Amino acid sequence: MNESRLILLAVALGIFIPSSFAQQEDKPISEQILGTWKHQAEPVSITFQAGGKGRLSFGGGQFGIDLTWKLLGTNKLSMTVKDPGTGQVETGVATLEFAGDTVTIIEEGGDKVDIYKRTTGESPDSSLFEAAVTGNLEAVKQHIAAGTDLNQTDPNPFGSKGSALHAAAAFGYNEVAVALIEGGADVNQKDKEGQTPLHMAALFCYPKIAQALLDNGADKTIKDNDGQTALGMVEFPWSIVKGIYELLDGIVFTPAGKPLDYNRIQKTRPQVAAIIRKAAINRNAGSAKARQLAEGEISLTNGDILNGEVADVDQNGIVVRVKIGGFSRRANWMQLTQESLKKIKLLGETDPKRYGVRINRQWVSADQFAEPFIEPDESEMEKNLLPGPVRGLVEPEVPSIVQVTSKMAAYGSGGGIGLLVAIAIGSMVAGLGVAAFRESNALLAAGVSLVLPIVGPILFLVKPKVEYEDDDEDDDEYEYEEAEAPEGATMSDTGGGAVAGMLPEAKKMSFAQAGPKKGGAKPQTWTRGDTRFDRSFFQNNFPNYFKVVLGAAEREMVLALKTGKREYVGQRIKRISGTDVHMELLNGKEQKISFSEIGTVDLRAK
């Protein structure tokens, strides 16, 4: 166990910055809506602030959306929210019906849909973190009722940045910890050392808190920055950890008026270890956030909107379970807007097992499919920071006068001869490198560079490079080969491929009855003057070369891009922007090629 990290924990738990919250005062008539209102049945709350601003919070404050509002008359409310996933702005109007501290929202049709109750209008003088450390249950409950963010971290700038739940678990306040958990605090929140509240409950041996955390979704497999799980905290021999407990007791717990009980800790360590071992592994830690990301609107480049939940992802695109009509047709990756691509990328990073597919015995998540189609920001592409000066170097002392009998005498010594040999060898190596770059005769370049150090490599560098001749003048039209479909069927316009695990009806939506399938890709050449090389050219002519895993037909062909300097040969386009294309060459390297430099594009057999 890292002793220095525990000392930092001691500082975090022993120093506080108190905070206070201004009391809210009920306003008459049209302004009485100001404040925080909590839904009576669901973990949702709405905060209305003066000036027409507010926030809609979910899950005890873990997620939220900013909103703007205004009153239309005495009891009509207009609220505008922006979906963070799609950027879609929506405005709704409802009628408010007040009854004391309760407000009922009535839709325009007359249905009473939601009932909210005003939370307490004030927060205690002490901060939430201070209340958790001192075990002030009433103050913690007041913070929960007032809508305080339960996941705010320790305000001490030198602390461990743990939450109030971390503090309650470390000091063993069972009721405070349970209140925070039931109020919606994040049971898997990490401090700057990577430790969760379960790590704290295990380290200081509080069985009830450990059990409450595990019963409410705590993930016992989370490791801290040193690779320790919560179970590892109670598996060290007592003879080793006793000294650590004594250190923490002296600088944190005894000064705080709650000294550690060594007999209790030694007695309950096996009990806490048994509770953690017995608990099931929480395999749905990220599923709630992933489900929230999967819901909403998916926008397409043609202006269509798919409103529902992302149901399936593979190399051919995505399928959305729409709210009306079952499943949508599969939309391929090039049909998705940049906002939708970024949303799918985040979805794959959040839950890669749910939103991914196995290809050739390798699991590929949604973010790997979406990444090649996301355009990088111009600022990132153009950012090129030069290294700054090296600090701390001391300028060496150089004698003002050096006695040299002859300028050539230095080259007659052993060091001078060695220097000349080193220059000659370095020049020869440079000549070989230039020959490889300029595709010249390597032996000739090495010999000339050895005889003429420095000058030889420069001669070959300025020597004109041999241009490639285009022997393939076949102008046959390139045909895109669709994925395999059932016999007597062909892919639909939006991509295709049966969705693994989908309903039979959803499978049929990806195919339309047709005749025999056309042949694979044929060799073809495009030249500047006859063709405009831009983003649309590559997306329309080579869609299958953007895929993470190439098909059988694509693996038999290569793309050759000729510029004024050389020819680049590869099989896969990694990403593309408005000015250039990034291609993976046959040697595995990535090459950036500007559209303005391309003279010929050649699709030919490998």
- How does pLDDT run across 393-404, given as a tens digit for each residue? 556 666 666 555
Would 552 be classed as within a structural domain?
A: yes
Position 209 scores a pLDDT of 94
Among residues of the chain, what percentage have pLDDT more than 90? Answer: 19
Are the CB atoms for 174 and 135 separated by under 8 Å?
no
pLDDT winner (highest mean) among 78-82, 215-219, 321-325 = 215-219
Give the pLDDT score at 293. 78
| Domain identity same for 595 and 522 | yes
Which comes out higher in pLDDT, residue 288 or 360? 360
Question: Cα 383 to the chain's mean position, in Å?
Answer: 21
pLDDT at res. 13: 39
Per-residue pLDDT at 379: 56
Domain extent at residue 247: 3-16+125-278
Model pTM score: 0.36
How large is the greatest C-alpha to C-alpha distance in the chain, in angstroms? 107
**C-alpha–C-alpha distance, residues 445 and 435, integer Å:** 6
459-468 mean pLDDT: 63
- Is 191 in the same domain as 216? yes
Q: What would the mean pLDDT of 572-587 be, rounded to a whole number?
A: 91
For residue 475 the two structure tokens come to 């102008």
Higher pLDDT, 64 or 76: 76
- Do 346 and 364 belong to one domain? yes
Q: Are 317 and 334 in contact (CB under 8 A)?
A: no
Is 533 a residue whose pLDDT tops 80? yes
Mark out the alpha helices in 351-452 (DSSP H runs): 366-370, 378-382, 409-412, 414-438, 442-451
- Is the pLDDT at 105 greater than 90? The verdict is no
What pLDDT sits at residue 567? 92
CB atoms within 10 A of CB 560: 17
pLDDT recorded at residue 516: 36
510-517 contacts: CB < 8 A, separation 24 or more? 510/329, 510/330, 511/485, 511/486, 513/488, 513/489, 514/488, 514/489, 514/490, 517/482, 517/485, 517/490
pLDDT per position as a tens digit, 499-523:
333 333 333 333 333 333 344 568 8
Percent of the chain topping pLDDT 70: 68
Going by C-alpha positions, the residue among 3, 4, 50 that lies closest to residue 24 is: 50
- Pairing type for strands 89-99 and 35-39 reads unpaired
Distance CA 411, CA 401 (A): 20
| In-domain check, residue 523 | yes
Copy the structure tokens of residue 159: 């602390």
365-369 long-range contacts (CB < 8 A, ≥24 apart) are: 366/313, 366/318, 368/548, 369/313, 369/314, 369/315, 369/333, 369/344, 369/548
Whether residue 456 contacts residue 448, with contact meaning beta carbons closer than 8 Å, is answered with yes
Residues 161 and 271 in one domain: yes
Is residue 505 domain-resident? no
- 603 and 478 Cβ atoms separated by less than 8 Å: yes
Shared domain check, 602 and 525: yes
Q: What is the pLDDT of residue 264?
A: 92
Lowest-confidence pick of 113-127, 313-327, 361-375, 499-513: 499-513
User: pLDDT band at residue 484, thresholds of 50, 70 and 90?
Assistant: very low
| Residue with more model confidence, 417 or 274 | 274
Q: Mean pLDDT throughout 320-347?
A: 85
Q: Are residues 7 and 50 in the same domain?
A: no
The predicted pLDDT at position 551 comes to: 85
Give the residue from 233, 259, 278 where a domain finishes. 278
Mean pLDDT on 292-307: 86
Q: What is the dihedral of CA 386, 392, 393, 395, to 10 degrees?
A: 120
**Bridge partners, 600 (sequence order):** 527, 562
pLDDT of residue 37: 74
Kindly state the average pLDDT of the residues 238-261.
Answer: 85
Residue 21 lies in a domain: no
The domain boundary residue, chosen from 86, 118, 150: 118
The answer on 189 and 78 residing in a single domain is: no
Return the higher-pLDDT residue of 290 and 137.
137
The verdict on 335 and 356 lying in the same domain is: yes
Q: Which of 229-238, 350-359, 386-395 has the lowest average pLDDT?
A: 386-395
Does residue 22 lie within any of the structural domains?
Answer: no
Res 263 pLDDT > 60: yes
What is the domain count for the chain? 5
Q: Rounded to a whole number, what is the distance in angstroms from the first to the last CA of the chain?
A: 57
The residue ranking higher by pLDDT, 116 or 261, is 261
> Across-strand partners of 314?
317
- Residues 542-561 have a mean pLDDT of 88
Q: How many CB atoms lie within 10 A of CB 312?
A: 22
Q: Which pLDDT band, with edges at 50, 70 and 90, does 432 fall under?
A: confident
Find out whether 231 and 278 touch, Cβ atoms under 8 Å. no
- Mean residue pLDDT of the chain comes to 74
Q: Tell me what the mean pLDDT of segment 72-100 comes to.
A: 71
Which of 26-35, 94-103, 491-500 shows the lowest mean pLDDT across its residues? 491-500
What are the tens digits of pLDDT across the range 10-64? 433 333 322 222 233 344 445 567 777 777 666 677 777 666 777 776 544 445 6
pLDDT beyond 70 at 495: no
| 204 and 101 in a common domain | no
What pLDDT is attached to residue 581?
93
Domain-located, residue 509 = no
State mean pLDDT over 205-214. Answer: 93
pLDDT given for residue 117 in this prediction: 67
Residues 435, 582: one domain?
no
Q: Do 81 and 56 meet the contact criterion of CB atoms below 8 Å apart?
A: yes
Least confident range from 381-385, 448-452, 471-475: namely 471-475
Q: What is the DSSP letter of 596?
A: G
Q: Give a yes or no: residue 579 inside a domain.
A: yes
Q: In what order do the strands lie in the sheet with 305-314?
A: 295-299, 305-314, 317-322
Residues 270 and 333 in one domain: no
Which of 73, 96, 118 is the C-terminal boundary of a domain?
Answer: 118
Crossing angle of helices 414-438 and 442-451, rounded to 10°:
150
Sheet holding 580-585, edge to edge: 524-527, 598-605, 557-563, 567-576, 580-585, 590-594
Q: Label residue 527 by pLDDT band (50, 70, 90).
A: very high
Average pLDDT over residues 416-426: 82
3-state secondary structure of 14: helix
Question: What is the 3 state secondary structure string of 51-110?
Answer: CCEEEEEEHHHCEEEEEEEEEECCCEEEEEEECCCCCCEEEEEEEEEEECCEEEEECCCC
**How many beta carbons lie within 10 A of that of residue 405, not counting itself?**
7
Domain-embedded: residue 201: yes
Instruction: For residue range 211-231, list pLDDT tens digits in order.
Output: 999 988 888 888 999 889 999
Q: How many CB atoms lie within 10 A of CB 602?
A: 21
For 560-577, what is the mean pLDDT?
A: 90
In the prediction, which pLDDT does 296 show? 84
Q: Do residues 148 and 216 both lie within one domain?
A: yes
pLDDT at 78: 78
| Higher per-residue pLDDT: 385 or 16 | 385
CATH code of the domain containing 106 = 2.40.128.490
